[in-house]
Homo-oligomer: A and B are copies of this chain.
Amino acid sequence: MIKAQKLATKEWFRDLRDQTIKIFLEIENSNSSPKKINKFQIKKWKRKLEQGKDTGGGTMAIMHGEIFEKVGVNISTVYGKFNSRFKKQVSGASKTGKFWASGISVVAHMKSPHIPSFHFNTRYIVTENSWFGGGMDMTPSFINVKNKNALHNNLEAMCNKHSKKYYKKFSKQCEEYFYLPHRDETRGDGGIFFDHLNTDKFDRDFSFVKDVGKSFLTIAPEIIYKDIDKKWSDKDKIRQKIKRGRYAEFNLLYDRGTRFGLETGGNIDAILMSMPPEAIWK
C-alpha cells in the first residue's frame, strides 16, 4: 500500500518539476529583446551509502537569468536511517530511525526589485507514520497590497475546495513560521504552510498537495508578468538586497528544511539553493 503511495508522490513531484521548468523558461525567454536564451543547468546528486546501501538523492535545476536572477527547482527522494540525535525529533522515527522522504522545492529570486521572491515546496514523508508537508509564500521588497491579496485570494479559494478550515489554519501557520523574532518582523507576505498532514485519507491529502502545486504555477507567473516591464533604480535594487539579507538570516537561523538537510547529510548545494544570489548587510 505505502509502496504505491511512495511511487505516486515521487512521480507527481517530478511531473510538477517538469511543468515548473517549462513555465519558468517561457517567462525567462519572453523578454522582447533577449540577449540570449537562458536555460536551467541540471545537476544530479547521490547521498552517501549507508552500510553499502543506496540512500537516494536528487536532481537540482538552477538558472541564472535576466528575469529570474537565481531560481532553483529541486526534487529529491531520500531514505535510510536518521542519526540517533535527530530520530527523536521526527514523528514515528524514534524507534528504528528509518525514513523515506520525497519532495519538490522551488525558490525564485527575481532580478526586478518590484517582483517578490517565491518559495514553494511540498513533500511526502514516511517513517512508522506518513504525512505531507509544504506550502508556498512570497517575499516582496516593497509593500504591494494587490499582489498580497492576489496570492491570498488564490490560496483561500484553492484551500476551500478541500476543507473550509485549511486556509485559516495554514495561512496562520505560515505567518508564524516565516517570522524573524530577532527583528520582530515577518519574512514577507505569508502564504500557506502545513506539516504532518494526514487525515487518514491518502487520496484526499494527495489531491490537496497537488492543488498547492497547481496554485503556485498559476499565481507566481501571474504576479511576475504583471511587473515584468517595470523599471527600477539602483536604490530599489539595494533595498531588495537588504531584504535578501533578512531572507538569508531566516534560512540559516530558523528554517527547519535547512536544518533537516544539514542533519540528514543532504547535498549542500541543494540545501542552500534557497540562498539569495546577492545580499547586503549595511
A278 to B182, CA, bound (A): 21
A183 touches which of B182, B253, B268, B277 (Cβ 8 Å) = B268
The secondary structure that dominates the A interface is mixed
Interface residue? A272 (CB, 8 A): yes
- Copy number in the complex reads 2
A1 to B272, CA, bound (A): 50
Interface residues on A, range: 20 to 34
A249 to B253, CA, bound (A): 9
Neighbouring B residues of A262 by C-beta, 8 Å: 181-182, 253
Instruction: Produce 1/0 per residue, A239-279, CB < 8 A to B.
Output: 00100010011001100000000100000100110011111
Neighbouring B residues of A279 by C-beta, 8 Å: 248, 278-279, 281
Q: A245 CB to closest chain B CB, in angstroms?
A: 7
Interface residue? A143 (CB, 8 A): no
Cβ of B281 and Cβ of A280 under 8 Å apart? no
Closest residue of chain B to A109 (Cβ to Cβ) is B281
Q: A129 CB to closest chain B CB, in angstroms?
A: 27
Neighbouring B residues of A272 by C-beta, 8 Å: 249, 281
A245 to B247, CA, bound (A): 13
Q: A269 CB to closest chain B CB, in angstroms?
A: 9
A277 touches which of B253, B276, B277, B280 (Cβ 8 Å) = B280
A97 to B248, CA, bound (A): 32
Closest residue of chain B to A258 (Cβ to Cβ) is B253
A181 to B268, CA, bound (A): 11
Instruction: Produce 1/0 per residue, A136-149, CB < 8 A to B.
Output: 00000000000000
Q: A64 CB to closest chain B CB, in angstroms?
A: 8
Closest residue of chain B to A266 (Cβ to Cβ) is B182
Closest residue of chain B to A274 (Cβ to Cβ) is B281
Enumerate 13 A-B pairs (CB-CB under 8 Å) in ascending A order. Answer: A182-B268, A182-B271, A245-B275, A248-B248, A248-B279, A249-B252, A249-B272, A252-B253, A277-B281, A277-B282, A278-B280, A279-B279, A279-B281
A residues touching B (Cβ–Cβ < 8 Å)? Answer: 70, 181-183, 241, 245, 248-249, 252-253, 262, 268, 271-272, 275-282
With A277-B280, A279-B281 given, can you name 13 additional A-B contacts, CB distance below 8 Å? A70-B281, A181-B262, A182-B268, A182-B271, A241-B278, A245-B275, A248-B248, A248-B252, A248-B279, A249-B252, A275-B281, A276-B281, A277-B282
